[in-house]
Amino acid sequence: MQNALRRTFTSLAVRNFRLFFIGQGISLCGTWMRTIALSWLVLQLTHSGVQLGVVTAAQFLPVLLLGMFGGVIVDRTDNKRLLIFTQICLGVISLLLGILVITHSIELWAIYVLAVFSGVITVLDTPARQTFFVQMVGEQQLKNAVTLDAIMINVARVVGPSMAAGLIAGVGIGWCFIIDACTFVAVLVALIMIRRSHLHHVEPAPQVPGQLRAGLQYVRSTPALRTSLLMMIIIGTFAYEFPVALPLFATKTFHGNATAYALMTAAMGLGAVGGGLYTAGRPPSSLRRLILSAVLFGLSMMIVAVAPNLVTALMLLVVVGALSILFISLNNTTTQLTSTPQMRGRVMALWSMAFQGTTPIGGPIIGAIADHSNPRVGLALGGASAVVAAGIGVFTAGYRLPKREQKNP
């Protein structure tokens, strides 16, 4: 039992990662509060699933358009300094949102503008954060660190929405944004305390022409990267649209309120914590396991889509959360460990584009489907996309897999 626990939490023995993990955990609670508050604010202002999808898309449109440029910058830059910059910017954006809401000055156009600014910062923040894991813990413990980070995201998914529901009911939406801004102080303190001498040094890529094209050629010539990123593009576009699908599922299908939406988000988070604890202690990822996780994730979403009532939906969303973290952890680790250190920033920028940058495409589609037919259809479409992605994974890589799982180097 002790050995199993040690394997599950092994990367927390690294001081730098432990500091980052704690700071990130506090900040992520605020992030989930902001997510709930922003979705509810847009619904209050517009009563439109399409507008909710468009605002969600606006946050990630810069990732789609500029993601590879962000990856080039990350490969050339000191990640610790870059993360300090991005955290300050994201905190200021939340603070501005909170002030505008509390002073009753908020308008839809301002939400769009701040959403786009947030997306521009995310272009740098996501690949920098993902590649910083391997610098903190090394390649041997990367899967464990990525999975524990995903667990923390989903612990925050339980805590943050619960706090948001209470704040929205008690003092209003604006204070969710103000408190989120304050939580960025925790991750900034953690980053400042990280010892540079204990990081696994990665030599920055030189500033030479053609680095963006070289990154694309590298992915195209690496079969495992092609497969994992293609699956992430499909699933990221249609399945990971929960900020659009769940509030509409709560309000239109089950006639609930902000509390019902928060409970759905928390249920997914609870399942993801359990799934993450299981995944953290498992062997390294493989393409076969990645493909199977996509199938199971898709089937679980399709089952949720036909849930007869809110209680059943909440129980099923626990399973969705567990399988979601399994797929994300395997996909992220497969992508990182297959990449060379000098290419990792550009590769993870592509991963970020596949995961987050596809939201401008999928978000409005899911929102329109929910508006004009039923949120159940939107969820079912997301689940079907995961099964289709798994089929494509089998077609592009499965026939070359041996009977025993191939381990990543």
Q: Position of tokens 């920033």?
A: 345
Q: How far apart are CA 274 and CA 280, in angstroms?
A: 10
Between CA 124 and CA 126, with CA 125 as vertex, the angle to 5 degrees is 100
pLDDT 10s digits, 234-245: 998 999 888 888
Q: How far apart are CA 196 and CA 216, in angstroms?
A: 30
pLDDT at 221: 84
Q: How far apart are CA 271 and CA 158, in angstroms?
A: 10
CB 370 within 8 A of CB 49: yes
Q: How far apart are CA 77 and CA 15, in angstroms?
A: 23
pTM above 0.85, yes or no: no
pLDDT 10s digits, 343-389: 888 888 888 888 877 877 887 888 888 778 888 999 999 999 999 99
pLDDT at 224: 82
Backbone angles phi, psi at 256, to 5 degrees: -95, -165
Q: How far apart are CA 304 and CA 339, in angstroms?
A: 35
Burial class of residue 30 in the structure, from the number of CB atoms within 10 Å of its CB (0-12 exposed, 13-18 middle, 19+ buried): buried
Burial class of residue 112 in the structure, from the number of CB atoms within 10 Å of its CB (0-12 exposed, 13-18 middle, 19+ buried): middle
pLDDT 10s digits, 42-61: 888 888 777 877 887 788 78
2-400 has CATH 1.20.1250.20 classification: yes
Between CA 223 and CA 231, with CA 229 as vertex, the angle to 5 degrees is 105
Q: How far apart are CA 145 and CA 139, in angstroms?
A: 10
Show Cβ contacts of residue 387 under 8 Å, excluding neighbours closer than 6 positions.
294, 295, 298, 299
Residue 218's alpha-carbon distances to 212, 244, 338, 339, 396, in angstroms, are: 10, 34, 11, 9, 17
Structure tokens at 316: 């099923």
Average pLDDT, the chain: 84
pLDDT at 406: 43
CB 279 within 8 A of CB 149: no
Chain centroid to Cα 253, Å, comes to 25
pLDDT at 409: 37
Residue 311's alpha-carbon distances to 217, 323, 374, in angstroms, are: 48, 19, 19
Between CA 331 and CA 336, with CA 332 as vertex, the angle to 5 degrees is 120
pLDDT at 404: 44
Q: Which of 3, 8, 21, 11 is nearest to 283 (CA)?
A: 8
pLDDT at 151: 79
pLDDT at 405: 43
Helical H segments across 138-222, by residue range: 142-170, 174-193, 211-220
CA atoms within 13 A on the CB side of 247: 26
Q: Where are the domains of the chain?
A: 2-400
Q: Position of tokens 């969710």?
A: 176
Residue 299's alpha-carbon distances to 290, 312, 320, 375, in angstroms, are: 15, 16, 9, 17
Residue 362 amino acid letter: G
Structure tokens at 148: 């524990």
pLDDT at 98: 94
Q: Position of tokens 């995903």?
A: 150
Angle between helices 108-137 and 49-76 (to 10 degrees): 40
pLDDT at 244: 82
Please compute Rg for the chain using Cα positions.
Answer: 20
Q: Which residues of the chain have pLDDT under 70?
A: 1-7, 203-209, 280-285, 397-409
pLDDT at 330: 84
